[in-house]
Amino acid sequence: MRKWLFRGLLLLLVLGVVGAGVGVWVLTRPTIDTVGRVTFDREVAVPPLAASRVDGAGRRVFDLRTQAGESDLGRGEPTATWGYNGAHLGPTLRAKRGEQVIVNITNQLGEDTTVHWHGMHLPARMDGGPHHPIRPGATFAPQWRVDQPAATLWYHPHPHERTEMQVYRGLAGMFLIDDPATGAAGLPHEYGVDDVPVMVQDKAFDDDGQLSETGRFGSEIGILGDSVLVNGTPGPYLDVTTSLVRLRLLNASTARIFNFALSDGRPFTLIGTDGGLLDRPHQVQRLPLSTGERAEVLVAMRPGERVVLRSGPPAPEGDFAMRRFQGGGDRFDVLELRAAATLKDSSAVPAKLADVPRLDPATAAEHREMEFSTRDINGRRMSHDRVDAVVTRDTTEVWTVVNGHGTPHSFHIHDVQFQVLERTDGGPVPPLLSGWKDTVYLPPHEGYKVIMRFTEFADPATPYMFHCHVLRHEDEGMMGQFVVVEPGGSPRLSAHHGHGG
Ligand code: C2O
Ligand code: CU
Ligand code: CU
């Protein structure tokens, strides 16, 4: 009897020590901090502008091909990656407002994909959501008329339950819209020279230099990497030759929330957000971007100097779990800006950038509430057979989108750009949320009231999506469907939509 008691106590002791060890490891394991430890030894890649031609029907034609390949991501050996028209990432598509575009997408991967035009106003059938898989070897050719203000949009896959992996492996690119009326002619606009795409992504690598897809211990938001790439370049620097450089920042990560600042704390000028330019420039020192969000900024440089774009903890910093497990305590060196010994003078920043007509909540035909919690929206997960919101064409709606628990989420909606009316806790709405948005970060227990207008495209048979843009969450079903119908109409989901692939 004594002996068993002794053994039992010994076992408890051993378990206790092991448990405490695991606990100590979890609690003391440092957060990621690469500040001051990145040797900026590679010139940042600038994605090429996609070749295009105008066909007999006057349409601007692009060709995109998904493919697997290998890339030098700074690991000493090649890393297997995916890309459009190349081994990694994709070319920048560019079109003018008013142009009819057609994109021939050929899928050369061994699995289904789709291409979604994030931020684009277009018919649901062209939107590239999970309902329209492109099978291996197949081609899909969506076409639409570009009709929205000048903006920095992007494209990425949106297949059923595989979005995180496909984006993580490298499928992403920018889509720039030009529009003289809303593009502020006085801004830097020479692509790759003083107007530079900056796609920021974090990656985790295994010992063989391959992308690690296991993710971080305790992460509720999927893969969090400890290396940050810009346009696929590790340790990147950008040679600046003008006194003002325009950065089109895109957080193309699958999960990570960045909070950008310059290394010496100097302010920079925020000029645009997801859906286009702001009405006027704002001086800011911090720029938080959750996944899928974009911002255009101007950085003023002095001859010969160097300054580093960094990312620090989000604000609000969140609780212990947020800091330790969701990347909320991590800090990164992202991109070094190197000014030439002499800089070409840029023109002064225009005091007025664009007209951003405010949508009026008094005109809203509908108010809806969307609560994001666990992996659900209003307690439900995505179902291809359920329409979560029926919207009447040419109406305005106000949606209250809130995070109901302690894990970070975001709200993204297809087809439209929205405006933020207020924070649900009554706090101030920052300049970053003063213009057109299609994605907004929902910090733990916070939310926003947003307003949007659904115009032009009604299709009772084809839904658009709204979802959390933490891609693991999207894949797990934190997504809903809305259908835009003509006045008095109702949705008619056709049978094959029941199984999007
Ligand atoms: Cu960028 Cu529905 O996604
Ligand atoms: Cu989208
Ligand atoms: Cu989420």
Residue 1 CB coordination number (10 Å):
5
Asked whether residue 56 falls in the same domain as residue 176, the answer is yes
pLDDT at 218: 86
Question: What is the span of the domain harbouring residue 214?
Answer: 195-344
CATH number, residue 276: 2.60.40.420
Asked whether residue 372 falls in the same domain as residue 314, the answer is no
CB-ligand 1 contact for 310 (6 Å cutoff) = no
- Domain boundary among the residues 282, 313, 344 is at 344
Nearest CA to ligand 1 atom 3: 118
Percentage, residues of the chain above pLDDT 70? 96
Q: Is residue 18 part of a domain?
A: no
Q: Is residue 14 part of a domain?
A: no
Asked whether residue 199 falls in the same domain as residue 159, the answer is no
Q: pLDDT for 111-144, tens place per residue?
A: 999 999 999 999 999 999 999 999 999 999 999 9
CA distances from 194 to 244, 266, 332, 347, 435 (A): 7, 19, 24, 12, 23
pLDDT at 216: 78
pLDDT at 1: 59
**Ligand 1 midpoint to CA 342 (Å):** 41
Asked whether residue 386 falls in the same domain as residue 480, the answer is yes
Q: Which two tokens stand for residue 155?
A: 């494209």
Q: Is residue 309 part of a domain?
A: yes
CB-ligand 1 contact for 443 (6 Å cutoff) = no
Q: Is residue 491 part of a domain?
A: no
Asked whether residue 203 falls in the same domain as residue 338, the answer is yes
Q: Are 267 and 307 in contact (CB under 8 A)?
A: no
In the chain, % helix, strand, coil (3-state, to 5) comes to 10, 40, 50
CA distance 445 to 434: 21
- Domain boundary among the residues 315, 344, 373 is at 344
Residue 119 CA: nearest ligand 1 atom is 1
Residue 460 CB coordination number (10 Å):
18
- Global confidence as pTM: 0.94
pLDDT at 500: 39
Q: Is residue 20 part of a domain?
A: no
Residue 467 CA: nearest ligand 1 atom is 2
Asked whether residue 238 falls in the same domain as residue 124, the answer is no
What are the residues whose beta carbon lies below 5 Å from ligand 3 (ion)?
Answer: 409, 468, 470, 473
Asked whether residue 60 falls in the same domain as residue 160, the answer is yes
Asked whether residue 315 falls in the same domain as residue 209, the answer is yes
Number of domains present in the structure of the chain: 3
Q: Is residue 140 part of a domain?
A: yes
CA distance 319 to 325: 10
CB-ligand 1 contact for 473 (6 Å cutoff) = no
CB-ligand 1 contact for 294 (6 Å cutoff) = no
Asked whether residue 375 falls in the same domain as residue 421, the answer is yes
**Ligand 2 midpoint to CA 188 (Å):** 27
CB-ligand 1 contact for 292 (6 Å cutoff) = yes
Residue 118 CA: nearest ligand 1 atom is 1
Asked whether residue 248 falls in the same domain as residue 291, the answer is yes
Q: Is residue 35 part of a domain?
A: no
Q: What value does the mean pLDDT of the chain take?
A: 94
Asked whether residue 320 falls in the same domain as residue 409, the answer is no
Asked whether residue 339 falls in the same domain as residue 370, the answer is no
- Domain boundary among the residues 180, 214, 231 is at 180
Q: Is residue 6 part of a domain?
A: no
Q: Which two tokens stand for residue 64?
A: 């995109």
Q: Which of 433, 168, 472 is nearest to 326 (CA)?
A: 472
Q: Which residues of the chain have pLDDT under 70?
A: 1-2, 21-30, 495-501
pLDDT at 243: 98
Nearest CA to ligand 1 atom 1: 118
CA torsion angle for 460, 464, 466, 469 (degrees, to 10)?
A: 170
